[in-house]
Amino acid sequence: MIILPGGMPGAANLNEHLGLREQILNFNESKKMLAAICAAPLVFGNLGILKNKKATCFPGYENQLHGAIATGENLEVAKI
């Protein structure tokens, strides 16, 4: 499982880490568990893995959940 912690500039730094991005894509492809809190779901959004899935994040980062159904809820769980 990969869990991304939230906060800024941490989430932005995670988003720019090529090795992490590659590992997240590998985990997603292998249907392994991924999680992110606060602003960190933007990493998944920018990778395109939230497309057509319910997702939530810290208010103000919804525009980076590309293709996701941003709910504004406290928690979302997406089935792979």
Give the residue among 66, 29, 32, 75 at the shortest CA–CA distance from 46.
66
pLDDT > 80? residue 79: no
CATH C-level class of 2-70: alpha beta
User: How would residue 40 be classed by pLDDT, with cut points 50, 70 and 90?
Assistant: very high
Residues 6+ apart with CB under 8 A from 24: 2, 34, 43, 44, 47, 49
pLDDT > 70? residue 63: yes
What does DSSP assign to residue 62?
G
* pLDDT, position 8: 96
Domain ranges (residues) in the chain: 2-70
* Residues 43-61, mean pLDDT to the nearest whole number: 97
* Residues 6-13, mean pLDDT to the nearest whole number: 96
pLDDT > 70? residue 80: no
